[in-house]
Amino acid sequence: MKATKHIKTLNNANLKESAVKGGCGECQASCQSACKTSCTVANQKCEK
Amino acid sequence: MIHKYRLGGYSICLDVHSGAVHVLDDAAYEILDCFDDNGPLPDELPERVTEKLSGRFDEGEIEETWEALLELQGHGLLYSPDDYEQFADMMTRAPIKSMCINISHDCNLRCEYCFAAKGDFGQGRCLMPLETAKKAIDFIIANSGTRRNLEVDFFGGEPLMNFDVVKQTVEYARSIEKQYNKNFRFTITTNGLLLDDDKIDYINREMNNAVLSLDGRKEVNDRMRVTPNGKGCYDVIVPKYQKLVAGRGDKDYYIRGTFTKYNLDFTNDILHFRELGFDQLSIEPVVSDPKLDYSIKDEDLPRVFEEYERLADTIIASRRRGDRYNFFHFMIDLNQGPCAIKRLRGCGCGNEYVAVTPQGDIYPCHQFVGMEQFRMGNLNDGTFDTEMKLDFAKANVYSKENCRDCWAKFYCSGGCNANNYQYEGDIRRSHKTSCALEKKRLECAIMIKAALAEDGDAKECDGDDCIEPCSILK
Ligand code: SF4
Ligand code: SF4
């Protein structure tokens, strides 16, 4: 997405596409809790 | 739905259902201010908007900005509709892929805020026998279907108190993983007290991730993280962590701390971690009964928010100086993150993830351990409550009333079911204080991306969190 004078888009929004292709479940679990620091979902990687 | 906010000098708009993030100028921001966050924008610019903004912007500019906004909407990047419920059936029962093995229900520290009742989960101090640990490995293999990557976290209590069993469990898992076409990834979470050279070598060889508990500055750490006779542990553990991290190579680790009411200036603890040479950092708010002195209460939230903002500014300034480190809770990947299905499925506890105790009891996750009504079964007698599993499987973002329409749902995944249960009485009712904190962290995380993008990111580009359009990739 190109930047215009008024709006700069930071990413290639692909959530919808990811839903269609996704769901394989090979990624890590994403416990959000303080005692774990396993992985907050937003910073995880896709394993595909 | 959109979520827009101003922070750090940026006006940011997240389009919730496409995941697009836009940095707006004042005209664009104020136009959007004239509309409901649920949109969509009408085809024609309403007169009331032109009238309202005409004193601030000239007509041509308003018109031009309006066109740009409509174009984004046309491309599905603004007010994009929520059409994810069609995937709801992918958010049900799933194979188990992660397991927390409470290898030790004993601990050599007595941290004030310990959720595990100072290490024993209220069940008496004991260590897991090897036989039980092996059954745990067999259980996850048997229940993981075709999933190949299996995660096992050695947790406690303090896992190093039962380290021989840890080693033998790893060896056992490695000896059978190929035959079942599995790939184990091990994590160990430790308080560091019992680390020595051999254990450090072993952990750096065998554990994909090491989570090292330390709260920050010496006085902060030693106030909460104490031995049974009340002595702080900072001086003992810090040199050991430094040694471990120095030998870590490309494997993951985290220094993880907890902040409480006593150190609401936790940016200083992050900076202290940097001084100690650590670069993978995490500090989270204590979640506890608000009656306790050290707990973070709702009235503390404005102060905590302010501190998150200070931390975000500090991180941006460090990056601009070329000092790179990760603060776990501001890490966000706007381009290559996990798929939407995963994001909506939730933390996976009780469905994709379970915890087991030294007695062989199975619970939805480590935070449910000891709550009898959530005991799902036992490794020794082969019981497992698949009805309860299904119930947890259904606890996804779309079955949680507050989450369904929350702008943060794709980044938060519906929060922590255990906290929901403990503080709101229902795994599906979100814990408001946690929500407020989560949303603030997300706003900061996205703002950091906006700031780094503005820098032109040529020198920032490292391929793994690059921002488009990037001058190097172009
Ligand atoms: S319920 Fe909470 S502690 Fe348990 S796995 Fe989910 S996020 Fe983590
Ligand atoms: S838990 Fe709270 S912040 Fe997270 S998605 Fe639900 S309502 Fe939003």
Instruction: Spell B248-285 as b/e; 16+ CB within 10 A means b.
Output: beeeebbbbbbbbbbbebbbbbbbbbeeeebebbbbbb
Question: In A, residues 10-29, which contact B (CB 8 Å cutoff)?
Answer: 10-16, 18-19, 21-29
User: Which residue of chain B is at minimal alpha-carbon distance from A48?
Assistant: B338
* Structure confidence at residue B464 as a pLDDT band (50, 70, 90): very low
Using an 8 Å Cβ cutoff, are B312 and B139 in contact? no
CA B426 to CA B413: how far, in whole Å?
A: 16
Which SS3 state, helix, strand or coil, does residue B164 take? helix
Percentage of chain A with pLDDT > 70? 60
* Structure confidence at residue B457 as a pLDDT band (50, 70, 90): low
- Residues B353-396: tens digit of each pLDDT: 999 999 999 999 999 999 999 999 999 999 999 999 999 998 88
Percentage of chain B with pLDDT > 70? 95
- On whether any CB of chain A is under 8 Å from the CB of B467, the answer is yes
Q: Per the CB < 8 Å rule, is B18 touching A19?
A: no
Q: How far B362 CA lies from chain A's nearest CA (Å)?
A: 17
* Structure confidence at residue A33 as a pLDDT band (50, 70, 90): low
Going by C-alpha positions, the residue among B427, B425, B405 that lies closest to residue B415 is: B427
Which residue's CA lies nearest to atom 4 of ligand 1?
Answer: B365
Report residue B432 as tokens.
Answer: 């408001």
Q: B343 or B33: whose pLDDT is higher?
A: B33
Q: B412 or B276: whose pLDDT is higher?
A: B276
Q: Is the pTM of this model over 0.80?
A: yes
pLDDT above 60 for A12: yes
- Please give the full DSSP string across B183-228, using - where no structure is assigned: EEEEEEEE-STT--HHHHHHHHHH-SEEEEE--SSHHHHHHHSB-T
Q: What is the DSSP letter of B420?
A: I
Sign of CA dihedral B108, B112, B115, B120: positive
* ∠ CA B429-B347-B86, rounded to 5°: 80
Task: Give the nearest ligand 1 atom to A32 CA.
Answer: 7
Which residues, including other chains, have CB under 8 Å from residue B52's CB and lie 6 or more apart? B34
Task: Give the nearest ligand 2 atom to B402 CA.
Answer: 7
Which stretch of DSSP H or E encloses residue B259? strand B252-259
Residue B419 Cα to ligand 1 middle (Å): 8
For residue B467, the model assigns a pLDDT of: 42
Tell me which residue has tokens 């896992």. Answer: B159
Helices (H) and strands (E) in chain B, counts: 16, 15
- Residues B80-99: tens digit of each pLDDT: 999 887 787 776 778 999 99
pLDDT above 70 for B304: yes
* Structure confidence at residue A36 as a pLDDT band (50, 70, 90): low
pLDDT above 70 for B37: yes
For testing the chain B interface, which of A2, A5, A9, A45 should be mutated: the one with the most B CBs within 10 Å? Answer: A9
Task: Give the nearest ligand 1 atom to B427 CA.
Answer: 1
Which SS3 state, helix, strand or coil, does residue A19 take? helix
For residue B345, the model assigns a pLDDT of: 81
- Please give the full DSSP string across B431-467, using - where no structure is assigned: -HHHHHHHHHHHHHHHHHHHHHHHTTSTTT--SSS--
What are the strands, taking DSSP E only, across B82-220? 98-105, 126-127, 149-156, 183-190, 209-213
